[in-house]
Amino acid sequence: MSYSKVVAFANVLYAMEVPQRDGRTLGVPLAWFPRLLHASPAERAKVELSRTGLHWEDLDEDISVEGLLAGRGDMTKRVDSAT
């Protein structure tokens, strides 16, 4: 599987672009990933890339390339504080 060495944020607040070695670019809305949407540009820039995905240590966010290809957004289960 090809993997990215670069992550770009288009329009700063609205989309993340992950270029692939095969020439494709995966573009996803930041709304799919609330932690990234609400992070500062500096926080988003501190991404670690691997063969399987993207990791933001300070944001506690991990995104798999497989998940992006499948069109999956944030899969984090939210705890309802009202219960």
Rounded Cα distance, 80 and 83, in Å? 6
Give all domains of the chain, ordered by start, each with its CATH number.
8-69 (3.30.2020.40)
Contacts 24+ apart (CB under 8 A), 73-81: 73/28, 73/31, 73/32, 73/33, 74/32, 74/33, 74/34, 74/35
Per-residue pLDDT of the chain (83 residues; tens, 9 = 90+): 444 556 666 655 578 888 878 888 888 888 899 999 999 989 998 999 888 889 999 999 999 988 888 888 887 765 455 54
- Cβ atoms < 10 Å from Cβ of 12: 10
pTM listed for this prediction: 0.70
Structure confidence at residue 25 (pLDDT)? 82
DSSP string spanning 17-79? Answer: EEE-TTS-EEEEEGGG-HHHHHS-HHHHH--EE-SSEEEETTTTEEEEHHHHHTT----PPPP
